[in-house]
Chain A
């Protein structure tokens, strides 16, 4: 039973355009959400996070939106750059210090 789902395994975007990566969750006890970025042969690196008391968090080109009623979050990257090409994982945390990860979305930004 996947509690965190990323339904799009891959996404292709033109350089300069917006990339939108989506994530859905089922556990209403999750109260903190994170996005990680992973390049091949490297570990995931933290990108941006959001607490459930907020609906938006912005950091430069990256913005995360949270819709609690829909149990949905999204990561917007604008403008997209070729160096953004990577696998993006969303993760959720609830009680305790555990993270539950989605399956990842491979983003390809074409020059």
Chain B
């Protein structure tokens, strides 16, 4: 079946502009996560959606970052007034089960964001 998809695969934007990154999770997966990987760094958690519950936004680095998940499926990560330090690969993952199961997450290919 189809895996997690993300669009665009690459995005170059000027400092100060807003960007939207899209994630289509695996159909039926109730949990959706956003991470980012800066150059040479590990994966940094950003935000987590589980079903219809309020999202866990504890990883968002600033109020310029926000995310939505519409209809329990597609998610959009928005970065307002982008800064050069926002340049990173933004990864989306989904998971079929809530807490207590195998914790395995399925990742998309990522969106490489470059802020010039």
Contacts and interface: CB of A to CB of B under 8 A. Distances in A.
B107 A49 contact: no
Question: Looking at chain A, what size class is its interface with the partner chain?
Answer: 20 to 34
Interface residues of B, number: 27
Contacts of A9: 40
B99 to A, nearest CB: 4
B104 interface: yes
Most A CB within 10 A of own CB, among B44, B95, B98, B104 = B104
A7 to B, nearest CB: 12
Interface of B: 4, 31, 33, 35, 40-45, 48, 50, 56, 91, 93, 95, 98-99, 102-110
Interface of A: 4, 6, 9, 32, 34, 36, 41-46, 49, 89, 91, 93, 95-104
